[in-house]
């Protein structure tokens, strides 16, 4: 197996987009894009009701809130649960020069 690592300039923002997604999907290819919002679901095969099926077990959602805060949320979905569980919320305020925290992380598990 050969891994090719492409260098990304994550410290420099070259356009007005709020988020960058890099996805490597093995032999299926890769995706690299900058955008204003993100919605990604990752599924895995499981057995339910005696049959195999695909279940989206992790979701990553990114958007800009009305106050300009950029938020990425990571949710876990389980077919045995009534609601998803948010396992991470990651925030930044790139336009706020008075903000002393570059990246705020909340790893509390909450139902959204």
Between strands 30-35 and 38-48, the pairing is unpaired
Q: What angle do CA 49, 56, 61 make, to 5 degrees?
A: 155
12 pLDDT above the threshold of 80 = no
Q: Which residue has the higher pLDDT, 15 or 79?
A: 79
Please compute the mean of the pLDDT values over residues 46-73 and round it to a whole number.
96
15 pLDDT above the threshold of 80 = no
Q: Dump pLDDT digits (tens) for 63-86.
A: 999 999 999 999 999 999 999 999
- For residue 101, the model assigns a pLDDT of 85
Domain ranges in the chain are: 37-106
């Amino acid at each position: 197996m050969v891994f090719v690592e492409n260098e990304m300039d994550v410290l420099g923002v070259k356009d007005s987009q709020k988020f960058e997604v890099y996805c490597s999907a093995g032999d299926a290819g890769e995706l690299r894009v900058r955008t204003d919002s993100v919605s990604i679901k990752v599924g895995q095969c499981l057995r339910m009701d005696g049959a195999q099926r695909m279940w989206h077990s992790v979701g990553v959602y990114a958007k800009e809130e009305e106050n300009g805060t950029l938020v990425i949320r990571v949710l876990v979905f389980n077919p045995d649960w009534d609601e998803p569980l948010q396992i991470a919320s990651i925030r930044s305020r790139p336009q706020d020069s008075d903000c002393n925290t570059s990246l705020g992380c909340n790893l509390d598990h909450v139902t959204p």
